[in-house]
Amino acid sequence: MGMKERMDATAKNIEGKAQEAIGEITGDPQDKAEGKAKQAEAQFQHSVENIKEKVNQASRDL
């Protein structure tokens, strides 16, 4: 399992939430959009890691 990848994704999610909040406070739609995009990328990374984990578990169970 990619613990580093999960940690990177979590960090990106936090960064995205902060950027979105700053965009909300300042009224900057670009910051909001970039923050949301980072959060979506982080969610995708977590999904990929979940799939890898399930594949590895299935191969161990064989």
Annotated domain spans of the chain? 3-61
Q: What is the pTM of this model?
A: 0.86
Tokens of 58: 């299935």
Reported as a single tens digit per residue, the pLDDT across 1-60 is 589 999 999 999 999 999 999 999 999 999 999 999 999 999 999 999 999 999 999 999
Residue 48: per-residue pLDDT:
95
From the list 42, 36, 39, the residue with the least C-alpha distance to 7 is 42
Burial degree of 48 (CB within 10 A; 0-12, 13-18, 19+): middle
